[in-house]
């Protein structure tokens, strides 16, 4: 499973895993959106700790979910970005939305 969803009250955490490219982003997006539309969470967390590769399709995934959460009146957080993904996040300026240094690889940061 490329994405595992955990629902806790009005919060959804999407644990993404494997490689995110144009091919794999579509099923991830569909699964997250379907659940988010149903649950209407206040907070959606995209957890990247299980992601081994990401190109700009991952940025599209984040931007699309950011818009969705705005529509739903909630917030989006991105968490636990593995080191190799940070350069792509930085090109996109997403380092402004999240603290990449704290996005680290340990669960304790959450």
Partner 1 sequence: MKTSNRMKLQFDSRSANESFARMAVSAFIAPLDPTVDELSDIKTAVSEAVTNCIVHGYRDEINTVTITADIYPDNRVVIRVRDKGCGIPDIKAAMEPLFTTCTTGERAGLGFAVMQSLMDKVKVSSKEGKGTTVTMERKITSRGEANG
Dihedral sign of CA atoms 38, 42, 45, 46 in order: positive
29 binds partner 1 (CB under 8 A): yes
Angle between helix 56-71 and 22-39 (nearest 10): 20
Q: Could you tell me the smallest distance in angstroms from the CB atom of residue 8 to partner 1?
A: 27
Which pair of tokens denotes residue 33? 């959106």
Q: Could you tell me the smallest distance in angstroms from the CB atom of residue 67 to partner 1?
A: 6
Residues that bind partner 1 (CB under 8 A): 19, 21-25, 29, 53-57, 59-61, 63-64, 67, 84, 87-88, 91-92
């Amino acid at each position: 499973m490329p994405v595992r969803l955990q629902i806790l009250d009005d919060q959804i955490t999407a644990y993404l895993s494997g490689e995110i490219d144009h091919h794999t982003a579509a099923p991830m997006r569909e699964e997250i959106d379907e659940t988010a539309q149903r649950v209407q969470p206040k907070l959606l967390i995209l957890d990247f700790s299980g992601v081994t590769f990401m190109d700009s399709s991952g940025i599209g995934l984040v931007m699309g979910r950011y818009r969705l959460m705005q529509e739903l009146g909630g917030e989006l957080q991105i968490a636990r970005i593995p080191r190799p993904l940070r350069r792509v996040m930085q090109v996109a300026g997403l380092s402004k939305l999240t603290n990449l240094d704290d996005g680290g690889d340990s669960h304790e940061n959450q």
